[in-house]
Amino acid sequence: MTDNPTALPTEDAGDAMNTAELETMERYGITRVPAAVYLVGPYRYSKLADALVEAKRREIAF
């Protein structure tokens, strides 16, 4: 659990795959992989470097 109120749980109900989606993925050879998401304030980043830039920007601003 995190203290960040904007953080999503690792298993979000809206994130569950239904049978049709799974079959479509299999048909087209699509693989789903977990992805890291970095949160800085209200912002989300897929790259740690970008999150660090924002965090440092916020540190300077305050």
Closest CA relative to residue 31, chosen from 14, 17, 45: 17
Cα–Cα distance, 11 to 13 (Å, whole number): 6
Residue 1 above 80 pLDDT? no
pLDDT at 4: 53
Top-confidence range, 3-7, 47-51, 58-62: 47-51
pLDDT at 15: 72
Domain segments of the chain: what residues?
35-62
| pLDDT tens digits, one per residue of 3-44 | 554 554 444 556 788 999 999 999 999 999 999 999 999 999
**DSSP calls for 38-53:** EEETTEEESSHHHHHH
